[in-house]
Copies of this chain bind each other. A is one copy, B any other.
Amino acid sequence: MVETNRAAEDFVFDQPCPIRDVLDRIGDQWSLLILTALEKGAKRFNALSREIGDVSKQMLSKTLKRLEQDGFVRRTLYAEVPLRVEYELTELGQSFLVPMKSLIAWANANHRTICETRKAFPSRAQAR
């Protein structure tokens, strides 16, 4: 699993289009939720799980690892018993939230309009 196709695998590390690369992360359903949940401070794994609610442990784990790999989140392991692991935003993660917030604000402001428009659209045979 480690040495499969080197060329294709390396592609992950050098995406040609920045915005698509970024959208792939935050567009994956959980990343943004996690990021905003961490905005108020460091959280433990199960605390995040409880706060977000409808995320499986697997996805929380995977998403956190990706966010860590991309430098949005820092993971700290405390070798206690029982184990304790804390996640917190890095500077990069915090700086990302700045432009993201204006987008969130836009979404909140215009969501009602979007829903109305959607309802008014002719033909109920639409996708999704």
A residues with CB within 8 A of B = 1-2, 9, 12-15, 18-24, 26-29, 32, 62, 65-66, 68-71, 92, 95-96, 98-100, 102-108, 110-111, 113-115, 117-119, 121, 124-128
Contact = CB atoms under 8 A, between A and B. Distances in A.
Contacts of A96: 106, 110
Q: How many copies does the complex hold?
A: 2
Contacts of A105: 99
Given A2-B124, A118-B69, A104 B13 contact: no
Contacts of A27: 23-24, 26-28
A127 B121 CA distance: 39
B13 A70 contact: no
